[in-house]
Structure 1
Amino acid sequence: MASAARPIRNYLPGLLVLAGGLYTVYYYYMYWLRVYGALCIPGYGDPIKVEVTRGIWIRLDAILFPTVFGVILTLLGVMLIWKKKFGVAVVALVLSATVINWPAFILIASGALLGLLFWRKTLLPVIDLPDTTMEWLNEETGAPVRKSFRRLPAERPVYSFRNGDGVNFAVKESSSAQAAERELKALTAAADREIPAPVVKAIDGRFLLMSQLDGFPFLQPLDFEAWIDEIAGILSNTHSARIPEIPACRRVAEPVIPGWAFDRANWEQAARIFREEAADATSVFIHGDFEPANVLFRDGRVTGVTGWTQAGSGPAQLDVGRMRVALELIHGGNVADRFLGTYKKLSKNRGFEYSRYWDLLAVYGWLEQDPGDIASHWRRFGITTLSEDEVMRRLERFVKSMTDKE
């Protein structure tokens, strides 16, 4: 029964509005033909005034108005069939009064009212959270405003919202309760070190309730120098903070030759270099997934860093390399090289050394994802020119630049 009712809810409002619009066009078209046929069109080109019924006269050019709106309502009917929109149903209801004939008015008004009834819930965002989690949020925040929920672009479900007092929050669903507990420790360590990261308010299984940071990911700057300075600066500050007791969670990647590789000899040479030039580094407080989508900006300045799932103690070069490969893919080698140079200049660790080993390690880390997934990840942030083929081409070009240094 429910499956049979759903198509009715989906299509009946649009079909009624469409029928009303088509009837309006047909009604006035036939009316026009009847009157002009009776008059044989005397005085062609002049406004014609005819008696519709005893004592009631009408100018024929006046019926153009409801005819045009009949066409508009026909298009709105098609739109309602294609896209079930509450707002379009409101427009159709308002315009139903313009058709000036009862059958069409009844059809259009009925369809629009049914649309308002069936789709009233579309005024609220779709929130893909369990009812128990919503009850927990209600207890912790004091009645969250459902209309304020907004899904943020992230790998895992993350929603921003505000409560009745206007305080902004974010709720994140981790992959597991253990992952949520680990991120809680990382965020607590960041907060203790005054790093601009979300502050955890409460935890419930795999769900984290956090303060919402101001700003948004900004991947297409006009001033690359200022943008890079901000990114390198926040990373340098993170690395200079006190080292936490938890180790970074990022798994050390191994050399791989991707199945899509065009120049396998180049990748084989890179694997050899990677094994021969393996380097050690001192541990600092690292982010673990430092890439442009996790850095928030407001008015050209960094306001915070998100995505601390893999944070902990580890080599600073892991963060630098991951950002360098990301910048290489998104904006090219000049931007990636500038980031490395700026970080070295700002780093408080004067013993910091960086070699191509770390670049290759970062490449192998990114290759844990398919090129298509990498491209779609940044597409959510406005990078629409980076296709799957382009990711493969740029990764291979970057690896080639490493092997050509011999």
Structure 2
Amino acid sequence: MTDAQEEHEEQDWAATRAWVDDLLPDGERVVDATPLHGGWTSRMRRLELDGGPAGRRSLVLRSFVRPFYLRHAEGLLTREAAVLRLLGATDVPAAALVAVDPTAEHCDHPSLLMSLLPGTPRLDDREADRRADLLARRLLDVHRLRVAPEDRPRAYQAWTSADRVTPPERTARPELWWRAADVIRREPPAHPACFLHRDFHPGNVLFEGVGETLRISGVVDWVETSWGPADLDVAHCSTSLALLHGVRAGMAFADRYTAAGGTLAEAGADHLYWRLLDALAFAPDAEKVAVPWRALGRTDLTPAVLADRLEGYLAALFERYA
């Protein structure tokens, strides 16, 4: 980073840093700030603190800076703050809320300050099956959370529609994409609703250990938390696994979830609806999610690879559930 870039970086969050300093105990201060990679919707920083009664410690700062997310920041950050408070009384390993400024009243950008969780996202193919089993069990824990009616998050929102589907330019099977779009043109199937993470995928889960000691140490990014069908969370993680590790991995996740004790739509057509509703939101080539994944080491995930995997995944879904 050049001197000019460093100066701009400091100016870009000067008010936010002052807000953080005001929240800290007497004597404690921010001594370093490091960008965290892997996110797309927001700017993440790891803040190193020192001089306080707890000694050296770390916090995480999320700030919304992109124009689209700035428009929705108040709702997103208010929701995440409420969810983190709720999860503090559960066994789900989520960060502890420190403070939130959802309207940027004090900060340069809408921001949320939280504790740092141990572990890192793991997106490579090593131990991918073992991690997928852990993902399925942890997702079931999220779905089984008991929430008072007044504390329930908003009803889920679809991230695409039949009229917004765009096939990849290089596809040799455009009819597959139009067939998939027709599936989600119907009204959503009737479903029992539960607590959803709504953006549960390997990039939002932290791991520690290897082999028999492998474990999930944290689940992050709760800004999209919703109330809706378990199938939708399973669908989102399935699509992500198909893009990261191949079609087989994406197709197997629902089986891992039900093997762990989860319940999904009994009718194949209903389950297919939810799977396609999620998968088609990645069309035409899933490049948006690949940007943070490549920053975490998956440089092999080129637009062509992602487009081929997404199309192969659609075909596999029809083969099994149609």
TM-score, normalising length: structure 1: 0.64
AA of the residue aligned to 1:334: R
Q: Which residue of 43, 65, 85 maps to 1:157?
A: 43
Secondary structure of the 2:113 match is strand
Per-residue CA deviation, residues 354-395 of structure 1 (Å, 9 max, x unaligned), is 62222111112223x863323223111211111112211221
- Structure 2 CA distance for partners of 1:365 and 1:186, relative to 1, 3 Å: farther
- 1:18-97 aligned at under 5 Å gives the runs none
Deviation at 1:320? Answer: 0.5
SS, match of residue 192 in structure 1: coil
- Residue ranges of structure 1 left out of the alignment (5+ in a row): 1-82, 85-118
**Percent of paired sites with the same residue:** 24
In the other structure, the counterpart of 2:93 is 196
Matched, 1:251 2:142: no
Q: How does 1:189-338 map to 2 (within 5 A)?
A: 189-204=86-101, 205=104, 206-243=110-147, 244-248=151-155, 250-255=157-162, 256-261=164-169, 262=171, 263-275=173-185, 278-299=188-209, 300-338=214-252
Q: Work out the CA distance in 2 between the residues paired with 1:334 and 1:181.
A: 37
How far apart, CA to CA, are the structure 1 residues paired with 2:276 and 2:95? 31
18, 23, 30: which one pairs with 1:145? 30
Structure 2 residue identity aligned to 1:169: L
1:53 corresponding residue in structure 2? none
Q: Is the 8 A contact 2:95 2:116 kept in 1?
A: yes
SS for the counterpart of 2:60 is: strand
Deviation for aligned residue 1:248: 4.5
Aligned to 1:132: 15
Query: Does the 8 Å CA contact 2:247/2:316 hold for their aligned counterparts?
Result: no
Equivalents in 1 of 2:306, 2:262: separation in Å? 33
- Deviations 1:18-48 (Å, cap 9, x if unpaired)? xxxxxxxxxxxxxxxxxxxxxxxxxxxxxxx
Structure with greater contact order relative to length (CA < 8 Å, sep ≥ 6) = 2
Does the Cα contact within 8 Å between 2:161 and 2:184 map onto a contact in 1? no
The structure whose residues are more often helix, as a share, is 1
Amino acid at match of 2:128: F
Q: Which has more radius of gyration?
A: 1
How many residues were matched structurally? 287
Unaligned runs of 5+ in 2: 65-69, 105-109
* Deviation (angstroms), 1:230: 1.2
Cα distance in structure 2, aligned partners of 1:328 and 1:283: 25
What is the identity, as a one-letter code, of the residue corresponding to 1:260?
P
1:365, 1:347 → 2: CA distance? 27
Relative distance call for 1:308 and 1:193 in structure 2 (3 A) is same
**Deviation readout 1:267-304 (Å, 9 max, x if unpaired):** 12222333469522211111011111000011121001
TM-score normalised to the size of structure 2?
0.80
Report if the CA contact (8 A) 1:248-1:288 is conserved. Answer: no
Residues 139-188 of structure 1: CA deviation (Å, up to 9, x unaligned): 212433333x1111112111112211212211111332332212111222
Which residue in the other structure is 2:107 paired with?
A: none
Contact 1:269 1:403 in 2 (8 A): no
Q: How big is the alpha-carbon RMSD for the aligned residues of Structure 1 and Structure 2?
A: 2.8
- TM-fit CA distance, 1:316: 1.1
